[in-house]
Amino acid sequence: MTPEKQSLLQGLAELESTLSSSWQNAQQLSPEMLPYREDWLSQFRTPPRGATQGEFQAALARGCPAIVGDFHPLRRSGHSLATLLRNYAGPKPLGVVLELLPLGPAIGARDFLSASAPPLITGQSVADAYPELLDVLIKSQGFIVGTWAKEHPWQRDSQAASSWAELHRLHPNVHWVLFFGDWHLADNHLPEKIRQLGGKPTVLHQSPEPLWEGAGESWFHPFLKMEQDHWAWLHTPPLARKAAMAQEEDGPWDIHSQESAEYLAEEIAFGLAELLEIPSPTSLPVLVGPESWQGFYRNLPLDHRSALQKDQPPNCMIALPGQAECWLPDAPSLALLFEAAGHCLLADWPLGSRIDPKGRAQARAFRRLWARLTNPFLTELTYPDWQSGVTPVGFQATPFGKRWLAVDELGASFGDRLARHADLNKENIQGFLNNQEQYFKWSIPKATIPAA
C-alpha cells in the first residue's frame, strides 16, 4: 500500500469515527449490566485466526445447539441469520429459538404467517421482523419457538438453556439454533448454562464490534475462529448499526424516516468532500422512498425509463443523473448511505453529468468505491437473474433493461477494484471526477455494454 493510499484510508477512518460519535445512540447501562458486557468483551482479547466459510458452516451444523448472536435492528440481523441457515447442509430439520419471542411450545414456521401467531415482545410479527428467516424455515419445514421471560438477563440464560434441553428431549431429530443478543454469547453466560445441561454448543458471533478494529486492508478473513468453539463472521460494520438505529429502520418509511436518512447522507457527503479536499457539495442529498416511485420515474432520462417499469418499483437504489437525488426501496443501509453521499458529490463534477454507458458505469464505480472502502467484506454485486434470462423486479425485459443492468454491474465491479487499487489516493480520485482516466486501467467489454 502506498503512503498516499494509507493517508486516504486513515482519513476515512477518522471520518467514520466522527460519524460514529454524531450518530451515537445514548444507552445508559445499569451497574449490574456492566460486568455482563465486560464478560462478552473478554471473548475478543485473544487474536482469532482466519477460517473458511466451509469451516464456519460446519461449526453451525455440529453445534448442539448452535448459538447465533443477534443485534438490532431486527430486520438486518434476521437477514444475516437467514443467510446462514440457507447454506445449512446438515441432515436434520431446523428449529430456531428466538430470544424476543415469548416463551411457548415449538410451532411450525408456516403457522407464523397467520395473524393469530404470537408477536415478538416489540409488538412486531415474526413475519414482519424476520421475513427471510421465515421463508428459509418454511422451505425446510422448520420450527420456531420463543423463550422470552421478564427476568434479568442472567436468569434468561438459565431459562433459555432449560428450554433448549426440553426441546432437545422432545425433538431430538431437530437441529436447534438459538438466536440471542450479543452479550448472552459470552462463554460463561448462555453457553455455560447449556453445557451444564449436557449440550455442546457452538457459538457464532455476528460482526462483533471489537474485531472490526483489525479489519481493513490487511485483513482478508470475514470468518474467524476464536477460543472454546466460538466463531465470528464479519459482515456489518459497527457504524452500520448506528445508522440503522438512527433511522428507526424497522418502522414504516415516512417523512421522519426520509429526513433521518437525508441527514445521515448529508453528513457523509460533506465529510467525503473534506476528506478529498474538494469543495463542499452545492446540493443536499434528496432520498425519496417507495411511495414516491412514479413521480421519481417521470424525472428519469428516457433510457432509464425504458429500462425500468413505471408500475413496479425495483428493489435497488436508483440515482437521478446530474442531480443529488436517489430513490430507495427501503431505509438505506450504511453502504447505500455512502453511495447516496457519493452521488451527491457527483452532481457538481463532469463525471456526474455523463449519460453515455461508459460514463454512467464510471459514476457507479465512484459511488460503489465508498461503500467498499467502508466495508471490506461487502458482498460483491451481481445480477444472476438477468444473465439467466429472468429479469429482476422492476426492470424491463428489453435491450434497455439489460444494458442498464450490465452498466450497473460493471460499474460496481470496477468500484470494488478501485477500492483495492494500490495507487488509490485523493489526487487520482479528484482526477476521476474530472473524467481523467489515466490513473486506472479501464475497459468496456463491448459484448456486455452494446453501443447505444
User: How do residues 25-51 score in pLDDT, each as one tens digit?
Assistant: 666 777 878 888 899 999 998 889 889
In a domain, residue 29? The reply is: no
Task: Note down the domain range covering 392.
Answer: 244-433
Give the CATH number, domain containing residue 106: 3.40.50
Domain stop point among 236, 253, 271: 236
Q: Residue range 421-434: average pLDDT?
A: 90
Tell me: do 271 and 218 sit in the same domain: no
Q: Residue range 90-115: average pLDDT?
A: 92
Tell me: do 324 and 401 sit in the same domain: yes
Q: Which of 159, 341, 375 is nearest to 266 (CA)?
A: 341
In a domain, residue 448? The reply is: no
In a domain, residue 25? The reply is: no
pLDDT at residue number 450: 47
Tell me: do 371 and 395 sit in the same domain: yes
Domain stop point among 236, 265, 280: 236
Instruction: Please answer whether residues 310 and 297 qualify as being in contact, where contact means their C-beta atoms are separated by less than 8 angstroms.
Output: yes
Tell me: do 189 and 103 sit in the same domain: yes
Q: Which residue has the cell 436508483?
A: 318
Domain stop point among 236, 268, 300: 236
Tell me: do 293 and 166 sit in the same domain: no
In a domain, residue 135? The reply is: yes
pLDDT at residue number 353: 86
Tell me: do 111 and 231 sit in the same domain: yes
Tell me: do 190 and 314 sit in the same domain: no
Tell me: do 228 and 249 sit in the same domain: no
Instruction: Please answer whether residues 342 and 369 qualify as being in contact, where contact means their C-beta atoms are separated by less than 8 angstroms.
Output: yes
pLDDT single digits (tens) 287-335 = 998 889 999 999 998 888 999 999 999 989 999 988 999 999 888 889 9
pLDDT single digits (tens) 326-376 = 999 888 889 999 999 999 999 999 999 888 888 899 999 999 999 999 998
In a domain, residue 3? The reply is: no
Tell me: do 145 and 52 sit in the same domain: yes
In a domain, residue 440? The reply is: no
Tell me: do 131 and 99 sit in the same domain: yes
Question: What's the whole-number average pLDDT of the chain?
Answer: 88
Tell me: do 124 and 160 sit in the same domain: yes
pLDDT at residue number 47: 87
* Residue 83 scores a pLDDT above 70: yes
d(CA 179, CA 368): 32
Q: Burial, 407: exposed, middle or buried (Cβ in 10 Å; 0-12, 13-18, 19+)?
A: buried
pLDDT at residue number 290: 87
Domains of the chain: total: 2
Q: DSSP string spanning 32-89?
A: THHHHHHHHHGGGSSPPEE--HHHHHHHHHH-BTEEEEE-SSHHHHHHHHHHHHHT--
* Residue 146 scores a pLDDT above 90: yes
The whole-model pTM stands at 0.88
In a domain, residue 21? The reply is: no
**Amino acid at the residue 237:** P
Tell me: do 336 and 198 sit in the same domain: no
Q: Could you tell me which residue, 344 or 89, shows the higher pLDDT?
A: 344
